[in-house]
Structure formats: C-alpha cells, structure tokens
C-alpha cells in the first residue's frame, strides 16, 4: 500500500534529512557559505517537501556532472570511464541557482536530502511535471528496502535547447510502498551510504 502524508510526516528525519513537512512553492531565503540570507522578494520554486502521497526531493547544489561526447569512445556501464563527465558550474539568477544541461545530453546530480529506507518499504522515484513539460526526463532506479544515502539522479534533456536545472528545488518525487518485511534488504550493496556527491556506475 502507498504511504500517505501523515505517515511520511510521522517518520520525519528518520526517513529523510533535512525534512520539510510542508509543500514549499516559494523560496524566501538562501544559504551561502553557511550563512542564511532572507530574500527581499520570494522566488517561485519547483516545489519540494511533503505531498499527498509522496515527498519531493531537491537537487543538491554541490555537484552536477554533464556527459561529454568523446568521438570513437563507447560507454561500458560495468567499467564506466569518469572522463565522460565534467563538472557543471553553478550559476545564479533572479529565478534561483541553476546548472546548464546542454540539449540532447544528460547529467548526473544528487539529492540534497539523505534518505533512510525502512526494511519494509520500497521507494519509486518519478520526475517532476514542470521539468517533464520542458522535455527534461528525470530517471532513477527504485529505492530498495534497507537502502540509505543521497540519491544519484540521472537527468536527460530531450529538447533542442539548453536547459536550466535548478539546485535547491524539487527534482523528483519519492513514493513509499509498504510490504511485508523481507530478509533481502539492500544491506551492504555497492551503492549503500552514498554521500552528497555523484556516484558513477560501478
């Protein structure tokens, strides 16, 4: 059964940290270098926080790696070459902080939030409609029972134009499904305890 807002709020920071118990649609302050600054005018945000049956995670501003085309080279997911990716610069505008994702390219980002999935919960992550309507496809694998860490997020730009991908704002929604406890939890898998940085294919 899918879990509702009341269950998500009851879990709080034992499930997601930092935890936002409301649906946030405007940003009123920014954090730079450990200091918080109140904005003179609120900025519209791609929503994040608790929804009716899910939680909208934010994209971390710490790292965003964009695919670099290397002629003649082939990607091997089993032996991924990190030279295929370059670090994108975080830009600033009145609309918020953002990375540029070139047209017909993809990037790897990471969730601002740390997630700790209970042993009887499986999580499905889906993209945000604001991005989907702009041709931006957000793709993640399921969050398995017992997994914990910062989520590495794959973002593709299917449009013919470069796109702004906003940091500190909603990037995907987590849906929590409860089942009977299983002995096959994620445990010490190779993507366990990911830090707030991009984790490439291993």
Instruction: Give the pair of three-digit tokens for residue 35.
Output: 């200091």
Q: How far apart are CA 53 and CA 43, in angstroms?
A: 25
- Contact indicator for 104, 158 with CB cutoff of 8 Å: yes
Q: Is 154 designated active site?
A: yes
| Closest to 176 measured CA to CA, from 13, 4, 17 | 4
Distances (CA, A) of 70 to 64, 65, 85, 162: 19, 15, 10, 19
Q: What is the DSSP string of 135-170?
A: TEEEE---B-TT-EEEEEEEEEE-SSS-EEEETTSE
Q: Give yes or no for a contact between 101 and 107, defined as CB atoms under 8 angstroms apart.
A: yes
Beta strands 136-139; 148-157: pairing state: antiparallel
Q: Considering the candidates 122, 154, 178, 196, report the single residue annotated as catalytic.
A: 154
Question: Do 83 and 118 contact (CB within 8 A), yes or no?
Answer: no
Residues assigned a catalytic role: 154
């Amino acid at each position: 059964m899918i879990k509702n807002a009341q269950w998500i709020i009851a879990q709080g920071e034992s499930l997601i940290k930092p935890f936002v118990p409301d649906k946030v649609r405007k940003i009123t302050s920014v954090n730079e270098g450990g200091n918080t600054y109140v904005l003179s005018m609120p900025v519209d945000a791609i929503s994040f926080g608790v929804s009716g049956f899910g939680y909208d995670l934010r994209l971390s501003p710490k790292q965003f790696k964009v695919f670099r085309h290397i002629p003649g080279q082939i990607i091997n997911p089993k032996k991924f070459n990190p030279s295929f990716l370059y670090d994108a610069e975080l830009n600033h505008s009145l609309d918020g902080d953002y990375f540029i994702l070139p047209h017909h390219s993809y990037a790897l980002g990471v969730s601002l939030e740390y997630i700790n999935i209970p042993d009887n919960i499986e999580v499905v992550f889906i993209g945000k409609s604001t991005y989907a309507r702009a041709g931006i496809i957000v793709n993640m694998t399921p969050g398995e029972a017992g997994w914990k860490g910062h989520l590495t997020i794959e973002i593709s730009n299917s449009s013919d134009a470069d796109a702004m991908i906003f940091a500190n704002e909603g990037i995907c929604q987590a849906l929590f499904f409860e089942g009977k406890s299983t002995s096959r939890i994620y445990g010490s898998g190779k993507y366990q305890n990911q830090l707030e940085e991009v984790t490439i294919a291993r």
